[in-house]
Structure 1
Amino acid sequence: MTGPTTDGTRAVTALDTTTDRLRVRGLDTGPADQVENVVVLVHGNLSSSEFFRRQLEALPDGWRGIAPDLRGFGGTDPAPVDATRGVRDYSDDVLSLLDALGVARAHLLGWSLGGGVVTQAALDRPSAVASLVLVDPVSPYGYGATRADGSRLADDDPGAGAGLANPRLVELLAAGERGEEDPSSPRNVMNGLYFAHGFRSPDEEELLTAVLSTRTGDDHYPGDAAPAAGWPSTGPGTRGVLNTLAPKHFDTSALTSLSDDGRRPPVLWVRGEHDAIVSDAAALDLAVLGGAGVVPGWPGEQEYPVQPMVAQTRAVLDAYAAGGGSYREVVLDAGHSPHVERPEEFAAALREHLEAAGPSGRG
């Protein structure tokens, strides 16, 4: 079933498509033969397409929303992740999904890790992108171990990647733990880090199920680790999700020159004002943790500075605009998940962006 439901929202159905890379599942508003006015919504780490259900329901008439589960999340095949390619295993999967569905050009929306995925897809196939929507995206220089200008602290990226993942969280994810007695439980991590102001989603159980769909291990979450010469003596390996964002593997700052024969797609940047995961002093930034004494031995700001993630994103988007592109920044009173915490405000910003950007067309 497609079209509006009895309460006026869009009907959301299951996506189940086999591409030339893997079997992709997720959510879709249809109709299946609509290849114009398409929005593709790509989720972040420790989540799935379920985090976009309410936004799919709120899409304007005439727009098709497709939210795939990335490999290793939700119902999509758990193919291994080669982190040496950055996020290209994910972005290539998204592009192959568009091919399988016959969609030549779409509006690409990415949240957190998904922001890096859709940016990489745009860089690799500019003609496929009608516009970009970046929701609390990972910095263009990855997560951890970079200076303000994006330069890397060292060749082995100390402190980035899978080596510092919380082993207790990994254990509880693998066990499917739904309780909240353990401080590291998936429920507590979701409610404490994804959301601000003590927000509890009315869809909490469904969202927790999405978090628990995360595959664990060296090929998925968190990935493998490697020794590093500098503090904290661990760095990224070559497999799994957290290593895809290590600066040695990931850099999407070439967004500054993105164009398709001179056409520069408009960008909407939506972020939560109280984001604890992606900010200029992120709660998970190793330098922040070191400065607070949580991780001992921090060598200080000179040697291991805090990564200003929002400032890095803004600098790249400013350069994109200076080169003839355009972007709009929307800041909502939310944490890392403004589409969940402030669904109506987010939907309004997305609707305005889509109307201004225009239809995706057939390429």
Structure 2
Amino acid sequence: MPSSFESLTVDAHGLALHARQRNAGGSPAVVFLHGWLDHSHSFDLVAEHLPDSWRLVLLDFRGMGRSAHQPPHSHYQFAEHLVDVEAVLRATGLESAHFVGHSLGGIVATAYAAARPSRVLSLSLIESLGPTGGPPENALVRLRGFLDDLERAPNRKRYPNVEAAAARLRENNPSLTEAAALHMARYGTEPVEGGLVFTFDPAHRRRFAFGYDDAQWLAISSAVTCPVQLILGSEGFRFDDERARARLDALRLPRPPLVLPGGHHVHLEQPEAVARALVEHILPAR
């Protein structure tokens, strides 16, 4: 953990979340929200290239990173991540902030900006154009999947060392550099008997019972009023052209998406370029 960050324990209605903060008296204040099954350290490399004067708040979502897991036999749902955001703003005394979100974190940040427009000064979305909900009829498929997943026993695979855990990450993200994968594995695992396991709650792998279909998401994202920028990896996740165009139109981007060489975790592959884009977007929006 970089020495310039302090760890915080955040109370999210009785669940202890972990967050890290740099320069509590600084400005502007920027809140970072990580992707699914990741953790706040995914932004460390970007943070190294941001001005020392900025106040940075990096959150671990519930059941991920160093945040507490929900009780056994409970279920994670998307809206609970909005509770996490409210909790970290309350704990840090922030009335408003700029938000940076990767993947799931960007979806959460977008929904929060729509629901609490006065609290979000700008949005920077990294590889994040919303959920893959699809048409309304997918709701039934989703419910059936949720019930089916109740029978799946949680499984925390053991790895002999950090290098093996990093190799597993690179299987899912081939464009991830070896150094970035080691960084994510080092901060995203914990020791157990017989090796290491990833810290995220395996219950996160179960499907949500409810999710937004395309029309609902367009209604939510079109309610965002703050300036938005989108940063994509050249080899990252893509929607089909029609769905992508509808989502871009809803967000009313002031300029086309910034496409950088890399994959879905482009902020780990191009941290300096991503940091430069954040500075150029956030400073005019202060």
Scaled by the length of structure 2, the TM-score of the pair is 0.81
Q: Is the 8 A contact 2:11 2:87 kept in 1?
A: no
Q: Structure 1 residues 21, 312: closer, same or farther in 2, change over 3 A?
A: farther
Q: Is the 8 A contact 1:48 1:74 kept in 2?
A: yes
Aligned-partner residue type, residue 228 of structure 2: V
Helix, strand or coil for the counterpart of 2:200?
A: coil
Q: Is the 8 A contact 1:272 1:338 kept in 2?
A: yes
1:215 partnered with 2:201 = yes
- 1:227 — aligned with what? none
Task: State the distance in 2 between where 1:24 and 1:249 align.
Answer: 31
Helix, strand or coil for the counterpart of 1:214?
A: coil
Equivalent residue for 2:81, pick from 81, 84, 90: 90
Equivalent residue for 1:279, pick from 238, 259, 262: 238
Structure 1 unaligned runs (5+)?
224-235, 239-243, 281-307, 359-363
1:114 partnered with 2:105 = yes
Deviation at 1:237, TM superposition (A): 5.3
The two structures, once aligned, show a CA RMSD in angstroms of: 3.3
Select between 90-99 and 20-29 the one with higher mean Cα deviation: 20-29
After superposition, the C-alpha distances for 1:128-176 in whole angstroms (9 at most, x for unaligned) are: 1000111111x43x236x2xxxx23444136996669xx89x74xx133
Q: Is the 8 A contact 1:18 1:24 kept in 2?
A: yes
Aligned-partner residue type, residue 258 of structure 1: A
Q: Structure 1 residues 94, 250: closer, same or farther in 2, change over 3 A?
A: farther
Query: Highest CA radius of gyration, 1 or 2?
Result: 1
Structure 2 unaligned runs (5+)?
190-197
Select between 154-163 and 336-345 the one with higher mean Cα deviation: 154-163
Q: Is the 8 A contact 1:21 1:96 kept in 2?
A: no
**Matching of residues 152-231 of structure 1 within 5 Å:** 152-157=136-141, 171=155, 174-177=156-159, 187-196=166-175, 199-209=176-186, 210=188, 212-216=198-202, 220-223=203-206
Q: Structure 1 residues 189, 59: closer, same or farther in 2, change over 3 A?
A: same
Q: Is the 8 A contact 1:115 1:135 kept in 2?
A: yes
After superposition, the C-alpha distances for 1:27-47 in whole angstroms (9 at most, x for unaligned) are: 22122x45x511111001121
Helix, strand or coil for the counterpart of 1:62?
A: coil
Task: State the distance in 2 between where 1:357 and 1:102 align.
Answer: 20
Equivalent residue for 2:132, pick from 143, 147, 150: 143
After superposition, the C-alpha distances for 1:229-266 in whole angstroms (9 at most, x for unaligned) are: xxxxxxx453xxxxx6x44699432244325xxxx211
Task: State the distance in 1 between where 2:55 and 2:38 align.
Answer: 22
Q: Percent identity?
A: 25
- 2:195 — aligned with what? none
- More helix by proportion, 1 or 2? 2
Helix, strand or coil for the counterpart of 2:141?
A: coil
**Matching of residues 190-339 of structure 1 within 5 Å:** 190-196=169-175, 199-209=176-186, 210=188, 212-216=198-202, 220-223=203-206, 236=207, 238=209, 246-247=211-212, 251-259=216-224, 264-275=225-236, 278-280=237-239, 308=240, 312-321=243-252, 326-339=254-267
Helix, strand or coil for the counterpart of 1:41?
A: strand
- 1:53 — aligned with what? 44
Q: Structure 1 residues 316, 268: closer, same or farther in 2, change over 3 A?
A: same
Q: Is the 8 A contact 2:34 2:42 kept in 1?
A: yes
Q: Structure 1 residues 129, 160: closer, same or farther in 2, change over 3 A?
A: farther
Task: State the distance in 2 between where 1:21 and 1:254 align.
Answer: 32
Give the number of aligned pairs.
271
Deviation at 1:16, TM superposition (A): 2.7
Task: State the distance in 1 between where 2:221 and 2:15 align.
Answer: 31
Task: State the distance in 1 between where 2:45 and 2:38 align.
Answer: 15
Equivalent residue for 2:4, pick from 11, 35, 38: 11
Scaled by the length of structure 1, the TM-score of the pair is 0.65
Q: Is the 8 A contact 2:102 2:126 kept in 1?
A: yes
Helix, strand or coil for the counterpart of 1:340?
A: helix
Helix, strand or coil for the counterpart of 1:208?
A: helix
Task: State the distance in 2 between where 1:51 and 1:110 align.
Answer: 11
Q: Structure 1 residues 21, 267: closer, same or farther in 2, change over 3 A?
A: farther
